[in-house]
């Protein structure tokens, strides 16, 4: 029996390992940057025999009003991940073009590029923050897409609007600046969406998975100028958004729901400050990246403390960072969930004393 040979780039592909792909058991889940808030939505099932609107008007109108971008500059996608994939597939030629990323950052930029046989120009977050614009332009070279996760996952760092605008201006007609704003609701004033009207090469990616507490719905948006989005509209699947998803998304984007979301974000931002204070007092914590977003990334003095958390049913996200395997990301949960983190810190302290 013969097997079908895979393309070399797929055969060697290292798949993205999401928090949910790890088969763990626990009682408190703070590993996927999910919102702790759940809400009941009304659904409609009497039109499922018909294909959905490819770009549901009610959702596009609502997100246009929310984001301040005209409706012809909004594309709804299956999570922000589909936006990443569409940009690479549309604008990059396989085995020829490249993208630039600034590591450590969200892993799907690399996985998507590898899937499409597009090269990766890997620069650092430190370069993004500290290098001059001229140095960045030189380092980016001839990359077609430049991905900036802002706020960045997992460091929480954020680049000022003016710096991103200067970079975009310097790369005009050379590259697209893709600003991934998955966590922007936690620092709304830092959004790059206002740059779209004055710059032709800015794309902003958004999601309802984080602050809007709809990770299970898989809804994202791509914001840009209509001319840049035109080829995306040719490439996107004919019916990317299901009717049920569109109905729920429209409700989530109502004025009252947005007000509720912002109230929840304020609560989570306060809770984050409290968590940081606990971590700063803990002897098992070596370094803390607070930054923006609904998470805190930290370095432990010893990775064995993660195992203690798992035994307590507390699931957080350990990972390798800067060549060291004692890093941990903690999502901001509700009051009860964060009390579990405080209890874990106390147990670890006792273990260290023994």
Is 42 part of a structural domain of the chain? no
Q: H or E element: which one contains 120?
A: strand 119-124
Distance (Å, whole) CA 294 – CA 281: 20
Domain stops at, among 201, 220, 253: 253
Q: Return the closest-CA partner of residue 73 out of 224, 186, 250, 209.
A: 224
Mean pLDDT computed over 230-238: 96
User: Tens digits of per-residue pLDDT, 53-102?
Assistant: 999 999 999 999 999 999 999 999 999 999 999 999 999 999 999 999 99
1 pLDDT above the threshold of 50: no
Residue 281 has a CB neighbour count (10 Å cut-off) of: 10
Asked whether residue 282 falls in the same domain as residue 226, the answer is no
User: Tens digits of per-residue pLDDT, 69-79?
Assistant: 999 999 999 99
Is 24 part of a structural domain of the chain? yes
Domain stops at, among 226, 253, 280: 253
Q: Which of 1-5, 139-143, 202-206, 275-279 has the lowest mean pLDDT?
A: 1-5
Number of domains in the chain: 2
Distance (Å, whole) CA 169 – CA 133: 10
Asked whether residue 238 falls in the same domain as residue 262, the answer is no
Residue 106 has a CB neighbour count (10 Å cut-off) of: 20
Q: Cα 176 to the chain's mean position, in Å?
A: 18
Is 89 part of a structural domain of the chain? yes
Distance (Å, whole) CA 195 – CA 265: 24
Is 46 part of a structural domain of the chain? no
Q: Tokens for 53, please give them.
A: 């609107």
Mean pLDDT computed over 26-44: 92
Residue 163, helix vs strand vs coil: helix
Asked whether residue 225 falls in the same domain as residue 263, the answer is no
Asked whether residue 230 falls in the same domain as residue 120, the answer is yes
Q: What is the CATH number of the domain that holds 336?
A: 3.90.1150.10
Domain stops at, among 253, 280, 312: 253
Q: What single-letter DSSP state applies at residue 4?
A: P
Asked whether residue 261 falls in the same domain as residue 228, the answer is no
Asked whether residue 249 falls in the same domain as residue 302, the answer is no
Query: CB within 8 A of 344, min separation 6: which ones?
Result: 305, 308, 309, 312, 314
The more confident residue out of 25 and 342 is: 342
129 pLDDT above the threshold of 90: yes
Between strands 324-331 and 295-300, the pairing is antiparallel
157 pLDDT above the threshold of 90: yes
Mean pLDDT computed over 300-316: 94
Furthest-apart CA atoms within the chain: distance in Å: 65
pLDDT given at position 25: 76
Is 45 part of a structural domain of the chain? no
Q: Per-residue confidence at 259, pLDDT binned at 50, 70, 90? A: very high
Asked whether residue 179 falls in the same domain as residue 63, the answer is yes
Asked whether residue 17 falls in the same domain as residue 138, the answer is no
pLDDT given at position 353: 61
5 pLDDT above the threshold of 90: no
Asked whether residue 225 falls in the same domain as residue 304, the answer is no
2 pLDDT above the threshold of 80: no
Q: What single-letter DSSP state applies at residue 185?
A: G
The more confident residue out of 7 and 195 is: 195
Asked whether residue 303 falls in the same domain as residue 264, the answer is yes
Asked whether residue 222 falls in the same domain as residue 329, the answer is no
User: Tens digits of per-residue pLDDT, 169-193?
Assistant: 999 999 999 999 999 999 999 999 9
Distance (Å, whole) CA 30 – CA 19: 10
Mean pLDDT computed over 20-33: 80
Q: In whole angstroms, how far apart are CA 120 and each of 97, 150, 337?
A: 9, 19, 38
pLDDT given at position 121: 98
Q: Tokens for 83, please give them.
A: 């936006």
Q: What single-letter DSSP state applies at residue 322?
A: T
Residue 223's DSSP bridge partners are: 74, 204
pLDDT given at position 354: 55
Q: Tokens for 289, please give them.
A: 């990246």
pLDDT given at position 251: 97
Mean pLDDT computed over 191-209: 97
List, in sequence order, the alpha helices (H) in the chain.
Answer: 8-11, 57-67, 79-91, 108-115, 125-130, 133-140, 161-170, 226-235, 243-252, 255-281, 304-311, 335-353
Is 329 part of a structural domain of the chain? yes
Distance (Å, whole) CA 102 – CA 20: 24
Q: What is the CATH number of the domain that holds 112?
A: 3.40.640.10
Q: Which domain holds residue 169?
A: 57-253
Is 320 part of a structural domain of the chain? yes
44 pLDDT above the threshold of 60: yes
Asked whether residue 79 falls in the same domain as residue 117, the answer is yes
270 pLDDT above the threshold of 80: yes
Q: Per-residue confidence at 290, pLDDT binned at 50, 70, 90? A: confident
């Amino acid at each position: 029996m013969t097997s079908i040979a895979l393309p070399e780039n797929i055969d060697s592909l290292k798949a993205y390992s999401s928090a949910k792909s790890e088969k763990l058991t626990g009682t408190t889940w703070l590993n996927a940057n999910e919102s702790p808030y759940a809400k009941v939505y009304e659904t409609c099932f009497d039109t499922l025999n018909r294909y959905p609107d490819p770009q549901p008007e009610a959702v596009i109108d609502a997100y246009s009003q929310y984001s301040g971008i005209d409706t012809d500059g909004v594309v709804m996608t299956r999570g922000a991940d589909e936006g990443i994939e569409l940009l690479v597939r549309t604008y990059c030629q396989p085995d020829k073009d490249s993208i630039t990323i600034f590591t450590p950052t969200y892993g799907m930029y690399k996985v998507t590029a590898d899937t499409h046989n597009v090269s990766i120009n890997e620069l650092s977050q430190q370069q993004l923050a500290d290098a001059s614009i001229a140095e960045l332009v030189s380092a980016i070279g001839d990359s077609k897409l430049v991905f900036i996760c802002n706020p960045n996952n997992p460091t929480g760092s954020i680049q000022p609007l003016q710096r991103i605008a200067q970079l975009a201006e310097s790369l005009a007609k050379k590259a697209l600046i893709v600003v991934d704003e998955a966590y922007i609701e936690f620092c709304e004033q830092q959004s790059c969406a206002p740059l779209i009207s004055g710059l032709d090469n800015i794309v902003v990616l958004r999601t309802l998975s984080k602050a809007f507490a709809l990770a299970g719905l898989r809804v994202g948006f791509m914001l840009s100028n209509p001319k840049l989005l035109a080829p995306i509209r040719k490439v996107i699947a004919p019916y990317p958004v299901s009717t049920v998803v569109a109905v729920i998304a429209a409700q989530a984007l109502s004025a009252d729901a947005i007000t509720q979301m912002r109230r929840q974000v304020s609560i989570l931002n306060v809770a984050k400050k409290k968590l940081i204070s606990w971590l700063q007092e803990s002897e098992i914590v070596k370094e803390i990246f607070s930054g923006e977003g609904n998470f805190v990334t930290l370095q432990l003095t010893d990775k064995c403390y993660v195992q203690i958390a798992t035994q307590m049913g507390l699931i957080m996200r350990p990972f390798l960072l800067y060549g060291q395997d004692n890093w941990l990301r903690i999502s901001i949960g509700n009051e009860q969930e964060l009390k579990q983190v405080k209890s874990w810190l106390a147990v670890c302290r006792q273990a260290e004393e023994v």
